[in-house]
Amino acid sequence: MAKPKRDIDPVEAKTAILDYCKRKGALVAGVADLDAINRICPPGHRPADMMPRVKSVISLGVGGQTQGAWSVPAKALGYFGSTETRGYTIAYGAAFYIENKYGVPSIYCPPDMDPDAGPRVPLQSLKVHAELAGIGARSLAGDILLHPEFGYMYFASVFTELELEPDAPLETNPCPAPSCVSMYKSIGRTPCMKFCPVQCLDGEVDTETGAQKVMRYDMAACAEMTQQFETVPATLMDAMKAEDEAAREDALFDPDNKILWYKLSAGSGGLFAQCFECMRVCPIATKAPMADPILRYDAAREERERAEAMPKAAAE
Ligand code: SF4
Ligand code: SF4
């Protein structure tokens, strides 16, 4: 087993690793408190269940699609709306970065489902990691994490045997936004609840403080709408149980089902959690100060120009 390459300054290491993630495209990155993860996550789904000597969990978030994407029809957004693979690529790179730079074992945490627990139970909760790392807070939209500055993001995690100081969860939750509280006062629902196509969101807002009181989420109803891969066995079952050739043909060649075969053969991400309607109407997802990729690009360019101008100014 390789040994750590040199004396490691954990403060320098944390800064270098989080900087790596941001340089590669993460909008935010942080370290989650491992003890807190162990208190929240059940046995079998704690980081040490995957990496026995894990000491730190790093979480990072990437932004969603282009600004224009929010205006396309649901059937198109379903094909390209999600950008989580960018986050996974950065996490993969960060695991290699830590091993190469510090000689300490690290892994990319798979975002996938637990083969022993079925298709709705993940191996690890990337959401818990991100929440505890202080890069997102639970919203009334089925606990989707939102960030006050960057809005709606996708998250990825890295586990490492390098010990890093944990960050704290966000102190404030941007959800519900003031306009959502106003809507709730008038109709008893927030935009995400109102516009969810299968009505799987419900909850209560404290109208005095504007804070979340209760969040209710019918995960099965959301999954029926969004996890299209789950319908494949039912379709095959219908075909097997069909009474005659014509009924079997109907089950397999029905236009809705044919599109499933298309998505499977194309390896389309459209088979996974591709309903964006609660986020399309969410003012934090779409209008948080840096949710808009055009604004983010402009801000990054201005910062780059400022940084480039500094040495010149110092030399003058
Ligand atoms: S993803 Fe779609 S189905 Fe699920 S809560 Fe959001 S709007 Fe509803
Ligand atoms: S629309 Fe967004 S901010 Fe408003 S309640 Fe729903 S998740 Fe929260």
Q: Whose CA is nearest to atom 4 of ligand 1?
A: 222
Atom of ligand 2 nearest to the CA of 203: 5
Q: Compute the distance from residue 312 Cα to the ligand 1 centre, in Å.
A: 51
CA distances from 73 to 76, 197, 198 (A): 6, 13, 17
Q: H-helix or E-strand containing 186?
A: helix 178-187
Return contacts of 210-215, CB within 8 angstroms, 24+ apart.
210/176, 210/178, 210/181, 211/173, 212/138, 212/140, 212/173, 212/175, 212/176, 215/138, 215/139, 215/140, 215/142, 215/143
pLDDT value at residue 273: 66
Query: Is any ligand 1 atom within 6 A of the Cβ of residue 196?
Result: yes
CA distance 252 to 113: 27
Q: Which of the four pLDDT bands, split at 50, 70 and 90, describes residue 256?
A: confident
Residue whose token pair is 């055009």: 294
Tokens of 59: 């979480």
Q: Which residues contact 274 (CB under 8 A, 6 or more apart)?
A: 77, 78, 79, 81, 82, 226, 228
Tokens of 81: 């709306």
Task: For residues 123-151, give the mean pLDDT.
Answer: 97
Q: Strand locations in the chain, DSSP E?
A: 28-32, 56-63, 106-108, 137-138, 145-147, 151-160, 201-205, 212-217
Q: Which of the four pLDDT bands, split at 50, 70 and 90, describes residue 314?
A: low
What residues does 147 pair with on adjacent strands?
151
Instruction: Spell out the domain ranges in the chain.
Output: 10-172, 178-218, 228-271
Q: Which of the four pLDDT bands, split at 50, 70 and 90, describes residue 56?
A: very high
CA distance 145 to 153: 8
Q: Which of the four pLDDT bands, split at 50, 70 and 90, describes residue 226?
A: confident
Atom of ligand 2 nearest to the CA of 144: 7
pLDDT at 106 over 70: yes
Atom of ligand 2 nearest to the CA of 177: 3
Q: Whose CA is nearest to atom 2 of ligand 2?
A: 282
Atom of ligand 1 nearest to the CA of 201: 5
Query: Is any ligand 2 atom within 6 A of the Cβ of residue 284?
Result: yes
CA distance 215 to 70: 25
Tokens of 66: 């282009």
In the chain, % of residues over pLDDT 90: 71
Greater confidence, 100 or 250? 100
CA distance 83 to 129: 18
Preceding omega of 176 cis (within 30 degrees of 0): yes
Kindly report the pTM of this predicted structure. 0.91
CB burial string 153-185: b at 16+ within 10 A, e below: bbbbbbbbbbbbebbebbeebbbbbeebbebbe
Residue whose token pair is 């299209």: 228
pLDDT at 109 over 80: yes
Q: Which residues contact 239 (CB under 8 A, 6 or more apart)?
A: 248, 251, 252
pLDDT at 155 over 80: yes
Tokens of 150: 């960057």
pLDDT digits (tens, 9 = 90+) for 201-222: 999 999 999 999 999 999 888 8
pLDDT value at residue 118: 82
pLDDT value at residue 73: 92
Q: Compute the distance from residue 275 Cα to the ligand 1 centre, in Å.
A: 6
Mutate-to-test residue for ligand 1 from 189, 275, 279, highest number of ligand atoms within 8 A of CB: 275
Q: What is the mean pLDDT of the chain?
A: 92
pLDDT digits (tens, 9 = 90+) for 29-49: 999 999 999 999 999 999 999
Query: Is any ligand 1 atom within 6 A of the Cβ of residue 198?
Result: yes
Give the number of the ligand closest to the Cα of residue 227. 1
Considering only CA atoms, give the Rg of the chain. Answer: 22
CA distance 284 to 152: 7
Q: Of the ranges 186-190, 264-268, 286-290, which one carries the lowest mean pLDDT score?
A: 264-268
Q: Compute the distance from residue 214 Cα to the ligand 2 centre, in Å.
A: 13
Q: Which of the four pLDDT bands, split at 50, 70 and 90, describes residue 312?
A: low
